[in-house]
Amino acid sequence: MSVSVSLRDVYKAFGEVKVIQGISMEIAAGEFVVMVGPSGCGKSTLLRMIAGLEEVTSGEIAIDGHVVNNVEPKDRNIAMVFQNYALYPHLSVHDNLAYGLRIRGLTKGDIEVRVRKAAATLGLDEFLDRHPRELSGGQRQRVAMGRAIVRDPQVFLFDEPLSNLDAKLRVQMRAELQALHHRQETTTLYVTHDQVEAMTLAERMLVMNQGRAEQIGTPDEVYTRPATTFVAGFIGSPPMNLIPGCVETDGLILATSDGARVRLPRRFEALAGRELLLGVRPEHLEICAQADAMLSPEIDFVELLGSDLLVYGNLSTAKTRLAARVAARLNASLKGRRVVVPMRYDEEHMHCFDLKSGKRIEL
């Protein structure tokens, strides 16, 4: 049975170092939530606090409505999958799956039923007699997931479980994780620094930075309406272009400190005289006729990605970098030479942030 998880103004400090700084979030029963952020942002520490492997400095963590701050990990009815698999090398796959159940005192019959069911769910039937050294990385990760499944927990916790796998295998394992969640419908908290994993797996995301929650929302909300410049720059590849400048008095031109000028939509009139960051994702820039240009970067580098072409350039002498995703057919005209290219952006997908606070400005 799935249960809810509540984080209520949770803090964690190691001496004077504040690692988690007041995170609050309600996670519904059966929900798949991904905690994403750069290395050192505190996401694994937060997961370990939910598991009971780290103490809470202040605030409350509740599972199924019951505060578990002082409850031992073994009594929280959670199961955790680690980055390094944590398998017993001297035991077979069968015995790795069964070990925790034996410790809990289940009967041999119950253990066998659970092990066989988990093996069938994860496609491990033919590997039950093998040892971890005889398995591939993906198979070992499935065994680690199987050890969690056999416990029939109320909450699954995953700590960067795919980071040791190659790119192709990560794609396969993401699909298997999604299928597993749809079958089990167990509340799942998943930690990763990989934004692709976060975007493809999450029903909701917690984007973290320096121990704080920068934004909580669905992948679509986080991508299309980032709450801060950190989120805008972290989610998306290449990241969102952020152009700093001051809105001129008529509100129709963004003037950068080094002389570049960017045309703005009419609704920017309300921000005349204000310093801000104009945000535009690479896929929302397009090459256009000079008369329609909103900005004109000098292109100095291109990357061909099959059907798409990533072009990189400078907006001005101060090296305000821009990236645009355009049609691959333009490769011949842009590759191998520096050229100033007129571009326009999609006004419907334009973003605006305060220059000092980095917070989103709604227009």
Rounded Cα gap, residues 156 and 147, in angstroms: 11
Rounded Cα gap, residues 49 and 158, in angstroms: 13
The one-letter amino acid code at 329 reads R
From the CB of residue 150, how many other CB atoms can be counted at a distance below 10 Å? 25
Q: What is the pTM of this model?
A: 0.89
Confidence at residue 166, expressed as pLDDT on a 0 to 100 scale: 80
Rounded Cα gap, residues 65 and 74, in angstroms: 18
Confidence at residue 337, expressed as pLDDT on a 0 to 100 scale: 66
Confidence at residue 267, expressed as pLDDT on a 0 to 100 scale: 85
Confidence at residue 52, expressed as pLDDT on a 0 to 100 scale: 95
Confidence at residue 318, expressed as pLDDT on a 0 to 100 scale: 56
Q: How confident is the model over 169-220, as pLDDT tens digits?
A: 788 888 888 888 888 889 999 999 999 999 999 999 999 999 999 999 999 9
Contact 132, 89 (CB under 8 A): yes
The token pair that represents 128 in the structure block: 């039950």
Instruction: Give the chain's residues under pLDDT 70.
Output: 1, 251, 317-319, 332-333, 335-337
Confidence at residue 198, expressed as pLDDT on a 0 to 100 scale: 94
Domains of the chain: 5-233 (3.40.50.300), 242-354 (2.40.50.140)
Confidence at residue 308, expressed as pLDDT on a 0 to 100 scale: 86
Confidence at residue 324, expressed as pLDDT on a 0 to 100 scale: 92
